[in-house]
Chains A and B, each alone.
Chain A
Amino acid sequence: MGKRRKRSTVPLKTLSVPERKRSWDVPWMWVGAAVLIGFPMLRDATADRMLRNRYVNQYSCECDYGQQRCRREGGQWLGPWYASDPAKRAADDPGHGGTCPSRGATGGYGGYRYVGGTSPSDYEPSRSVERGYRGGFGGTGRVRAAGS
């Protein structure tokens, strides 16, 4: 036959995804610890070239970025990471947001549907911007399937 699998090597290990930390837990935990103890290797914040917006409500975030690119953390809504330098934004970079009012709050960013608002008057621009050095990959995977 020649194509039969050897039984001894068939894996029987059960697959399970372990509990893992969220991406934004680690860098900020370390930055916080470094500030507290005067850690000398604290890096220059200008090296962190990714930004993301914090919103006070779901409607505002989803109006700027679409439903699948926003997530809730604490009492706030976080948009996706984007490059801080507009000149270095790639084709799928979600951008700095804030475009909802100029679009008349009639559609989601990049064609993605948003929900959660009751009216365009619910829109509030982001209250703060978070700085980091992760999130430069993975944005497309939130809205499309990677496998083929």
Chain B
Amino acid sequence: MERRSCVPRPHWQSRVEALGFDFHSANGTYWVEDGYYAFEAAEVDRIEDAANELHGMCVQAVGDVVARGDYHVLGLDARAAALVERTWKAGERALYGRMDLAYDGRGAPRLLEYNADTPTSLFEASVVQWHWLEDTAVLPDQFNLIHERLVERWRQLLPVRSHVHFAGALASPEDAATLEYLQATCQQAEHTAQLLDMSEIGWRDGFMDLADRSIELAFKLYPWEWMMAEPFAEHLHRAPTRWIEPAWKQVLSNKSLLPLLWSMFPGHPNLLPASHEPRDIAGPVVGKPRFGREGEGVFIADRGVHFGEHGMVYQARAPLFEHAGRHALIGVWLVGDEAVGMGIREDDGWITRDTSRFVPHGFR
């Protein structure tokens, strides 16, 4: 793994905007055009293998949680637990997720979190960085089958020519772009799709869209824990709507997954020691809120933490790849049960946030 500089493409802003990527300069710089990460094929294989193995372990963890009925450790109440159980036992299948890994270019990739419910930065990983590679040809290849696998997955998930409602917080440009992109992949799988804001969903003996049509299939880019805390949560258990991602993803998108995995697979090379009790972790510790997003509430304590806080998860600190004060986080995209691509976020600090930059990659 290496960070290299490169010459920006002429008029790159208009090139990426032509693809529909109009938040390239959000917060100053979001898309990095003058640099990229270069990998050897063997490194990409190592990252891909790690993500596939970790995903298998995660799925096993969901099964164990449901079998034991131990939802308390995940901070899930009875209503959330009932939905997890129902959707898991019904075999509702998932669309996608993004696993964030710490990889310093030498050792094993380590799991930092699994954004299994509402991952974003999808469009730039799937489409924008691919066009960048085609234009620049700085390397022969890229770990990126995201688009193809998404289209295939929509075909596997739904009966032919299904109608899917895509709902989310459309006031956020990034969320709207992610939804629109996923909508396009769904339509390429020959389903029909329409977009609506979460607040536009109605309830009258079932969830309804703006034209008062029943919502049977809904992809939501909206966290389950928010839905469970909002007024319409009371209807979720009796509504026939099938939600994608399914409710059992609450087990995976929850940072309490990390201690659970560590207890199930202690010492696994792709895991870091993790616990709800910070004194279980030797050395530098990273504290993470169970339901935090985009680095919100995350802190690093180099001398450890002596008192745990309710709702926090503590994980041993792992080094990220560092180059000239830039720290890179590997996001591996999974579609269904397969690792299919990679996106890299970079930050001057050690914590990746919503302001962190997206840097394209390639390998040889």
Contact = CB atoms under 8 A, between A and B. Distances in A.
Q: Does chain A bind chain B?
A: yes
B287 to A, nearest CB: 17
A11 B188 contact: yes
B168 A141 contact: yes
B180 A15 contact: yes
A23 B197 contact: yes
Given A140-B229, A141-B222, A148-B115, A7 B199 contact: no
Interface string A26-50: 1100100000000000010001011
A93 B231 contact: yes
Contacts of A136: 201, 203, 230-232, 235
A73 interface: no
Nearest to B113: A148
Given A137-B201, A147-B120, A7 B172 contact: no
A88 to B, nearest CB: 5
A59 B198 CA distance: 26
B35 to A, nearest CB: 21
Q: Which of A11, A27, A47, A133 is packed against the most chain B CB atoms within 10 Å?
A: A11
A146 B232 CA distance: 17
A50 B203 CA distance: 9
Given A5-B147, A141-B169, A147 B178 contact: yes
B253 interface: yes
A75 B234 CA distance: 34
Contacts of B234: 83, 88, 90
A23 B170 CA distance: 12
A137 B198 contact: yes
Contacts of A6: 148
Contacts of A21: 210
Given A4-B142, A142-B169, A146-B223, A91 B203 contact: no
Q: Which of B168, B178, B210 is packed against the most chain A CB atoms within 10 Å?
A: B210
B148 A14 contact: no
A15 B201 contact: no
A66 to B, nearest CB: 15
Contacts of B145: 3, 5
Interface string A87-100: 01111110000000
Nearest to B209: A26
Contact of B221 (A11, A144, A146): A146
Contacts of B66: none
A16 B20 contact: yes
A114 interface: no
Given A11-B184, A141-B168, A134 B293 contact: no
B175 A137 contact: no
Contact of A11 (B127, B143, B174): B127
A83 B184 contact: no
Contacts of A9: 147-148, 151
Interface in B218-273: 221-223, 226-235, 253
Contacts of B196: 20
B75 to A, nearest CB: 12
A6 B230 CA distance: 42
Interface in B140-176: 140-145, 147-148, 151, 167-172, 174-176
A7 B203 contact: no
The 6 closest A-B CB pairs, nearest first, are A15-B20, A147-B120, A136-B232, A138-B199, A141-B169, A138-B198
Given A134-B202, A136-B230, 10 more contacts: A14-B18, A17-B180, A21-B210, A23-B210, A92-B229, A134-B199, A136-B231, A147-B293, A148-B117, A148-B294
